[in-house]
Amino acid sequence: MNKKISLGAAISFMAIVAAVTVVITMSFSLSIFNQKVSNVMDREEQYKKLSEIDTLVRQKYYGDIDEETLNDWLARGYMSGLGDPYSFYLSKDEYAKKISSNDGELVGVGMTAKKDASGYIQIVTVYENSPAQQAGLQEGDIIVAVDGNDVLEIGYDTAVDMISGEEGTTVSLTVRRDGVDTSQTLTRRKMEVLSVEMRMIGSNAVIRITDFNRATVEQFQSAIASAQEQGATGIIFDVRGNPGGLLESVLDVLDVLLPECDIMTVTYHDGSTETFRTSDADEIDLPMVVLTNGDTASAAELFSAVLRDYGKAKLVGTTTYGKGVMQDTFKLRDGSAVQVTVASFAPPKTANFNGVGLKPDFEQALPAELEQRLDSLTDEEDTQLKKAVEVVDTAKAVQDQPQDQTEEASEESSQE
């Protein structure tokens, strides 16, 4: 038998529900308010401390204050206070250079260098069609003076900074080759940096990727096309020393190689996780190996991990750097910027590798002396590359076996 609720009871019940709702809402709002008040009070204390320091310095400091430099370092100090090595402040000039770097461009004379044993500047690579190449500079040349200043006297870092400069300006370099010094005047200009190189070793394409920037994608597509035209039956990707770069670039590169699948997941500061990118159905179906070392980082690690996750490649070399967090760069009103870590990222099937790195499937280390001159190793000296060729050739041999033999070998393996 149905029982009817009196109007008074219904009103009382509704009043109770409303009261409970108000109490819960007020408690939640009060919690948020208290948190905001606490944050405001904390910030007020920070500003008071900074103001106290500023007043004291302006009253007592003996020297002159450069206001622009002071503002830059205030911003640098704030970002440094986060304790995050990947979050930092960029001055207006630094931000402009970062944009050029992300675009795969640089303004300079077109070379990379390192400090040699004597402290001078040794040229490691010379970019094609660059001012350095046009002036006849070669790998292995030693720069002993910049604009007439001896490198040992002014210091290596200062000398390298002096070689950089604005487009259209000149720099004079004293270059030593075979004990003979010559002077060259080079005009700095903007040029595209080659971040992808392809060559053949037998029937295997060796594709080296030194960075992931906006120009990398087109260069990578050209390298893949060239490898296919030359009949490549296997691919070795060399990302040793690759510090990473733009995630959008590595995702576009992976899209070329992968079938339809998820490529990357991202977890934000609020704990939410989303699939950040998927691949289309077009893929490259060849045996692959990725060469890694301790300087393989960030986007280059993602590249390696995703190919391994989907069984596309084995990793050869040494454990990678371990950077699995992503940053956004935000431009400020005066043209400067801050780079802030905003999320962590992970390959689709395995865990985030931040602080851990990726352990290769085939551990193959190089002696320290060879590691230091990785860019100039011969194929015979490069034992990591030799191991990669061995691994990819083995994968091709397995792939070429008739299906019934492959299944039989698999059954024998499982019985053992």
Residue in 377, 188, 416 with CA at minimum distance from that of residue 291: 377
pLDDT at 413: 34
- Shared domain check, 179 and 226: no
CA 212 to CA 361: how far, in whole Å? 23
3 in a domain, yes or no? no
Taking CA atoms, 133 is separated from 33, 46, 127, 146, in Å, by: 64, 53, 7, 17
pLDDT band at 208 (very low <50, low <70, confident <90, very high): very high
Place of tokens 């010094």: 181
Scored b (16 or more CB within 10 A) or e, 74-101 reads ebeeebeeeeeeebbbbbeeebeeeeeb
Residue in 261, 259, 353 with CA at minimum distance from that of residue 315: 353
81 in a domain, yes or no? no
Question: pLDDT tens digit string along 26-36?
Answer: 555 555 545 55
41 in a domain, yes or no? yes
Place of tokens 């080659």: 194
- Shared domain check, 260 and 386: yes
CATH code of 311's domain: 3.90.226.10
**DSSP-based three-state secondary structure for 189:** strand
- Shared domain check, 187 and 215: no
- Shared domain check, 216 and 286: yes
pLDDT band at 415 (very low <50, low <70, confident <90, very high): very low
**Is the pLDDT assigned to residue 1 strictly greater than 50?**
no
- Shared domain check, 234 and 160: no
248 in a domain, yes or no? yes
Question: pLDDT tens digit string along 172-194?
Answer: 999 999 999 999 999 999 888 88
Residue 169 domain boundaries: 105-192
Last residue of a domain, one of 173, 192, 211: 192
pTM given for the model: 0.78
Question: pLDDT tens digit string along 338-367?
Answer: 999 999 999 999 999 999 999 999 999 999
CA 271 to CA 19: how far, in whole Å? 32
C-alpha angle 136/139/145, rounded to 5°?
70
CA 119 to CA 334: how far, in whole Å? 38
Amino acid in position 262: D
